[in-house]
Structure 1
Amino acid sequence: MPVAAPKVCACGKVVPPGGRCPCRAKADAERKARFDKTRPSARKRGYTGAWDKARAAFLKANPTCFCGAPATVVDHRIPHKGDMAIFWDRSNWQPLCAHHHNSGKQRQERRAAHGD
C-alpha cells in the first residue's frame, strides 16, 4: 500500500502525511480569535432562553440525524444571518448530530460565503 510523502510547509518545516504544521495551526487559531472578537454574542444572535426551549422541543420531536445518530443540534437549513423571521421559521430547521453539523454543514456554508 503506497504511503504519502511528507510535505514541506511554507515556513520550511517538514510535515508528516496527514499532519499540520504548528505554524499553520497557530495562524488559524489567531485568525479565529480575531473573527470571534467581532462576532456578536450568542444571545445577541437570537440564541435566548426561548430558543433553548424551542430547540429542546424540536429535538424531542425529531431525535435523529439523517445518518441515524442522535441529533444534538437544531440546524438552520438556510443560514439566518441575523434575520429573525428565518431564525424562527421551523420549516427551516433540521436535526443534526454534532459531527454532521460541525463538519459538512459548516464547510457548505463557508463555500457559499466565498462564492465557490
Structure 2
Amino acid sequence: MSRPPRLCSCGRVVPHGTRCACQIASTRARNARHDAKRPTATQRGYGGEWRAARADHLARHPCCTLCSAPATVVDHIIPHRGDKALFWDRSNWQSLCTPCHNRHKQRVERATS
C-alpha cells in the first residue's frame, strides 16, 4: 500500500519518503555556513604529526574495534574537544572502519553532546 504525498511548508506536494528541493537547499546552505566557521583539520590538530601517528596506530591495530573489518579511522574514545593531552593519549585511541565510525560512534557523540 502506498502512502499519500505530503504538503511541504513551501507549498509543494512531495511524494512520501522524499525531501522537497527547498529542504535540500536549506540543509546545504546551513551546512555551508557551519563549514565556513569551522577551523581547518590542521588547525584542529590533524596535521602531519597526526597523520604519521595515525598510520602507525592503524599498522599496529588494523581491525575495527567494533566489527573486525579492516580499520581506516583512528577514533578518540573519549572526545578530546581540543584537549591536547587527551588528543595525544594513545590509550584513548581506537581503530574503526569508516561505517562504524560514521554510524555508531557519531550517534554516541551526538547523544552525549
Give the CA deviation at 1:76: 0.8
SS at match of 1:74: strand
How much does 1:107 deviate? 2.5
Deviations 1:37-90 (A, max 9, x none): 111111111111111111001111111112122111101111111111111111
**For the residues of structure 2 that align with 1:5 and 1:19, how far apart are their CA atoms?**
12
The match for 1:51 is: 50
Report SS of the residue matched to 2:112: helix
Please state whether the residue corresponding to 2:57 is helix, strand or coil: helix
| Unmatched tracts of structure 2, length 5 or more | none
Equivalent residue runs for 1:1-116 within 5 Å: 2-65=1-64, 66-113=66-113
2:75 is paired with a residue whose SS is: strand
User: Quick one: which amino acid aligns to residue 45 of structure 2?
Assistant: G
Q: Secondary structure at the match of 1:94?
A: strand
Taking only the aligned residue pairs, the percentage that are identical comes to 54
Consecutive unaligned residues in structure 1, runs of 5 or more: none
Question: Could you tell me the TM-score, scaled by structure 1's length?
Answer: 0.83
**1:23 and 1:63, CA in 2 relative to 1: closer, same or farther beyond 3 A?**
same
Alpha-carbon distance in 1 for matches of 2:16, 2:68: 32
* CA distance, structure 2, for counterparts of residue 59 and residue 99 of structure 1: 16
Quick one: structure 1 residues 89 and 5, their matched pair in 2 at CA, closer, same or farther if it must change by over 3 Å?
Answer: farther
Q: How many residues align?
A: 112
- C-alpha change, 1:61 and 1:18, in structure 2 (3 Å) is farther
SS of equivalent to 1:82? coil
Calculate the TM-score normalised by the size of structure 2.
0.85
One-letter code aligned to 2:88: W
Q: How far 1:18 sits from its partner (Å)?
A: 3.2
